[in-house]
Amino acid sequence: MKLHLREGDWVARWGGEEFIIFMHNAEPAAAFGVMERLRLAVKGNPVSTVHGPLQVSTSIGIGSFRGEGDLATVLSEADGCLFEAKRTGRDRVVMSDSKERGTLWKAGMLQHGLLERRIVPAYQVIVDLKTNAVVADEALARLIEPDGRIVEAGEFIEAAEGIHLIHLVDETITNQAMARCAADMCTGARDKGFAHFVNLSPQFLARRELVQGVLHQASQFCIQTNMTEEKVKPLVLEITERQMLGDFTNLMNDLQPLLDFGFRLALDDFGSGYSSFLYLASLPVSFLKIEGWMVRNMRSNPKILAMVQSIIALARDQGIVTIAECVEDAATADLLRDLGADWAQGWYFGPPECDLEPARLLRELQTGTR
């Protein structure tokens, strides 16, 4: 390997079959050229075995220090580029440009977060507007960084979708939310009517083994909480039109085992796209979550107010519970109540919160005591 590197470059085993190369004072283009030369050299030198030559390929990701960030940032970028090199066919060198850098850095950060069990839920309460009682919560994905900082879902979910890891995030959050639900019911903190909302992506639903895994876990929790014979289970599955679920036949086939088990379905971000009503007509929706931008702007825009009023009336006629998102003040909550909305969530009622403060949560995750 060193024959194809520059004098002074450092090489070390990073772990398993991974190596790390530190190139001093190398411009990104020069680093790419050296790594491409190394890749071709490895490919051109098969390993001799008793059964004949064994072809070896190399996937390489490059992280660059650009005067900001630290070593962890550079390593995360390199890790994200390596993942992209493997995902797109292997035997190639990947280096991010300025547009890709953020996504690939987050990809590396996300991979390590999943492996080290630092993807955790933060729960935001949902309130009955008529009684002001807390009737549900939503589990939202959070990433705990090694220094204890909590990273919100908006900073990494797009990267998770782009590198096809969103199904693992969904699995992690759903299993933790179900465990919390069971624990709350066993201790009497919540009753059977309390709903727990989790977000599921098309990538998760299309993987039968993951769906069966969740159903198996749910069955065990139902035994613990005497919920086996209950037709309606506490978990509510949120899907969103923004994910462009175009094939309703396949979608229903993917959802059916979960619905048969007793989970209910929520349509998230209703009003965010042109297909919202098609979704509502095609799916067995129990809850309809009104898009946040409509809730935030309805008091200042009569047209949006009329739209929200129509959505609430439509849902009421269909026997669907409406949930207004992004409620940030009392005036908005009062208006929604007057319009006939059923439930609401937002910072006015409470921010998303992890069970434990970040440092303690991270310690428990790292030691396996959580």
Domain extents in the chain: 2-112, 118-367
pLDDT band, residue 320 (cuts 50/70/90): very high
| Phi, psi dihedrals of residue 46, rounded to the nearest 5° | -60, 150
- Alpha-carbon distances, residue 287 vs 24, 249, 277, 280 (angstroms): 57, 20, 14, 10
- Residue given tokens 């919202």 in the structure block: 276
Give the residue with greater pLDDT, 122 vs 61: 122
The strand pairing partners of 125, in sequence order, are 137
Classify strands 134-144 and 150-152 as parallel, antiparallel or unpaired.
antiparallel
pLDDT band, residue 99 (cuts 50/70/90): very low
Mean pLDDT for 159-187 is: 88
Query: d(Cα 268, Cα 218) in Å, to the nearest integer?
Result: 23
% of the chain surpassing 70 pLDDT: 86
Q: DSSP state, 149?
A: P
Domain 2-112 carries which CATH code? 3.30.70.270
What is this structure's pTM? 0.73
Superfamily of 118-367 according to CATH: EAL domain (3.20.20.450)
Which is nearest to 165 in space by CA: 89, 111, 211? 111
Lowest mean pLDDT among 71-85, 127-141, 260-274, 342-356: 71-85
For the chain, count helices (H), then strands (E): 13, 15
Mean pLDDT for 216-238 is: 94
Q: Which residues contact 130 (CB under 8 A, 6 or more apart)?
A: 337, 342
% of the chain surpassing 90 pLDDT: 46
pLDDT over threshold 90, residue 336: yes
Lowest mean pLDDT among 107-111, 137-141, 332-336: 107-111
Lowest mean pLDDT among 164-173, 246-255, 337-346: 246-255
- Crossing angle of helices 166-187 and 208-224, in 10° steps, is 10
Mean pLDDT for 15-28 is: 81
Q: Can you tell me whether residue 345 is helix, strand or coil?
A: coil
Give the residue with greater pLDDT, 233 vs 276: 233
Q: What is the pLDDT of residue 195?
A: 97
Give the H or E element holding residue 160.
helix 157-162
Q: How confident is the prediction for the chain on average, in pLDDT?
A: 85
Give the residue with greater pLDDT, 338 vs 272: 338
Query: d(Cα 308, Cα 10) in Å, to the nearest integer?
Result: 61
pLDDT band, residue 291 (cuts 50/70/90): very high
pLDDT over threshold 60, residue 235: yes
